[in-house]
Amino acid sequence: MRKLIYSFQVSLDGYIEDASGSIAFASPDAELHQYFNDYEKAFDTHVYGRLLYEMMQYWETADQEDEPIIVEYARTWQTLEKVVFSQTLTAVEGNARLANRSLAEELTALKQAPGKQIAIGGATLAAEAVRLDLIDRYHIVIYPVLLGGGKRMFPLFEQPLSLRLVDQQTFASGCIALTYERIRND
């Protein structure tokens, strides 16, 4: 069965954007960007909420940029299947489709289909997947910055989720990539 990974870039104090909605703090240098380029190749499907999907639309044309590291990521991203959850969009572009089932039904079907890993993004959408206990791994790239407020990566939980560290990497910029696996007792 395929694994569903919740992945985000986050401040040390757990925010994915600052109080004004900016993600400017999460600007990877060349080393970290190459890490993301390589990391992305383990996936063939991304599940997005509307806001993150719209933000990621930049990559539809970024293969026309001059910077090879940007072009590499764009070309990888363009080939991925994107499943978009939205109550307002009527159409999506590129290799994307609008979800037509509930989140639980869509994610269960994706996990049971053949293929590589599945990424889920968008804090609100991923929070629902966390509540449904459908996330298998959590991949967090922590930036050495404290934002003091903004949008949090994780929702409030009724019960703790037990995790096990399965991978870590430190970068010259001070960023740290951590991957945790959900420990299931069933």
pLDDT digits (tens, 9 = 90+) for 59-96: 999 888 889 999 999 999 999 999 999 999 999 998 99
Fold of 4-182: Dihydrofolate Reductase, subunit A (3.40.430)
What pLDDT score does 159 carry?
78
Q: Is 25 left (phi over 0), alpha (psi -120 to 50) or beta?
A: alpha
pLDDT digits (tens, 9 = 90+) for 101-111: 999 999 999 99
Please provide the size of the chain in residues: 186
pLDDT at residue 186 above 80?
no
pTM (whole model) above 0.85: yes
Q: Is the dihedral of CA 64, 70, 76, 82 positive or negative?
A: negative
pLDDT at residue 185 above 80?
no
Q: Is the dihedral of CA 86, 153, 63, 118 positive or negative?
A: negative
Q: Where are the domains of the chain?
A: 4-182
